[in-house]
Each structure stands twice: as structure tokens, then as C-alpha cells.
Amino acid sequence: MAGYWGLRVGAWLEELKRTRPVFHSEADFQHALAWTAHLFEPSLRVRMEVKTAVGHLDLLISAPEQDRNLVLELKYLKAAWSGTVAGERFELANQGAQDIRGYDVVKDISRVEQLTGHAPGWSGGVLVLSNDPGYWSRPGHGRTTNADAFRVYEGSQLAGVRAWGPNTGRGTMKGRTGPIRLRGAYRCAWSGYSRLEGRRGDFRLLSIPVLDR
């Protein structure tokens, strides 16, 4: 991310890389980022799980004296990993379902667009943290799949209407049937977050700025 808020989010994430290389859950990730933002700038108003017209929002961070607001949606997409970091034990369960989780990431982008697109002083972004290479590594088979519109592989472009392929099963689409229309265009670029011991110890971050003033 770049711009006014991007510099701050970047600083918060660098601190998290140093102090929290792994999280127990998505809620743990959300809380850690919220707390880090507060420690960096106590004057910020940091709120979690805010109800909005387009559903619950993970983080709303505001600078009231400057009339600026930041909307953040976070995803923590896990593969199985276990280990001990700074004396704390972590047991991550395999989440899988990359197609469904990819839909959720694209949906988050759309939701942030809706919240920030017509509001002066509002910015937003989506942060995806994962240790599952199935999210960032494009498979070598080169075949078209029913979930191609929701893949977030390195270098993928997300823009326009994103919809399931014609042969998608009802179970896959349950609760996620509708196509998603994106107003902007976004290129997926993953960066290193942390490297821990063991299989699936490589954690990477996808940062998607939706709007940054």
C-alpha cells in the first residue's frame, strides 16, 4: 500500500512481522493488527467487527481530527502447521477450500469498494496472510477451472465481473452464488511475511489497496 494510510499500515505490518510471525486464528490476526495500530498512534480510534450496510467490517481505524478513516478486511488462510514460537505453542489446522476462500477475498474487495468509493476521506484495503502455497502458486497444468475468477495467484488480475464457471457444484457455491462486480482493477502481489521451521512454515502476505488517500 502507498499513500497516507499505506505508510501506516506498512509500519504496523513490519512491527507484526517482528513480534507476531504467526497467529492462532483470523481473530488473533485482527486483534494483533488493531493493537499494533493503537500502540503506534494512541490517538487513532480503532474498532473491530463494526456493523455496516454491507455487513460486518473487520477493522475501522479513524483519525477523527483529520477526518480520515481506514477500512480493512483481513483473511488468514491456513495450511496445517505446528511449532513453538517465543515459548508459545501453535497448532494450525488445514483450512483448504481455496476456491471458496478466494471468492471470499474477492467479495471483501467489493465490500471495501462499496464502503470507500463515494466517501471523501475514506480509504481501504484487504490483507490476506497465508502459509498455503496453493493461494500464490499457479498450478502447472494450465487448465481452466470453475474457480479461475477467484484465484489470487501471484500476478493474477482481478477486475470486472467475477463469477463461477458453468460446471461449479452447488455445494461449492452454497452461500456464495452471486457474481461479484469489481469497480477497480487489482494485481495480486504476494510478499514474504515470516519463515518458520517445518513444512508450511513459509507465511506470505497479499496486500490489496482498494483506495488510499
- 84-139 pLDDT per residue, tens: 999 999 999 998 888 889 999 999 999 999 988 767 888 999 999 999 999 999 87
pLDDT band, residue 187 (cuts 50/70/90): very high
Task: Evaluate whether 126 touches 190 at the Cβ level (below 8 Å).
Answer: no
Give the angle 57-60-61 at the CA atoms, nearest 5°: 165
Which DSSP state fits 148? G
- The residue written with cell numbers 457444484 in the block is 169
pLDDT in tens, 137-155: 987 776 778 888 999 999 9
pLDDT score at 78? 97
Q: What are the backbone angles phi and psi of residue 174, rounded to the nearest 5°?
A: -55, 120
Query: Considering the chain, what percentage of its residues have pLDDT values greater than 90?
Result: 68
pLDDT score at 1? 57
pLDDT in tens, 170-183: 877 788 888 999 99
Number of residues that make up the chain: 213
Count CB atoms within 10 A of the CB of residue 213: 13
Q: Which three cell numbers stand for residue 19?
A: 513480534
Distance separating alpha carbons of residues 83 and 94, to the nearest angstrom: 14
pLDDT band, residue 165 (cuts 50/70/90): confident
What value does the mean pLDDT take over residues 180-199?
Answer: 96
Q: Where are the alpha helices (DSSP H) in 20-138?
A: 26-40, 98-116
Report the DSSP beta bridge partners of residue 46: 61
Task: Evaluate whether 168 touches 146 at the Cβ level (below 8 Å).
Answer: yes
Mean pLDDT over the full length of the chain: 91
pLDDT band, residue 4 (cuts 50/70/90): low
Pairing of strands 122-130, 68-77: parallel
Task: Evaluate whether 198 touches 82 at the Cβ level (below 8 Å).
Answer: yes
Q: Residue 90: which H helix or E strand, with range?
A: strand 88-92
Pairing of strands 190-195, 180-187: unpaired
Report the DSSP beta bridge partners of residue 71: 60, 124
Distance separating alpha carbons of residues 76 and 79, to the nearest angstrom: 10
Please report, for the chain, how many H helices and E strands are present, in that order.
4, 10
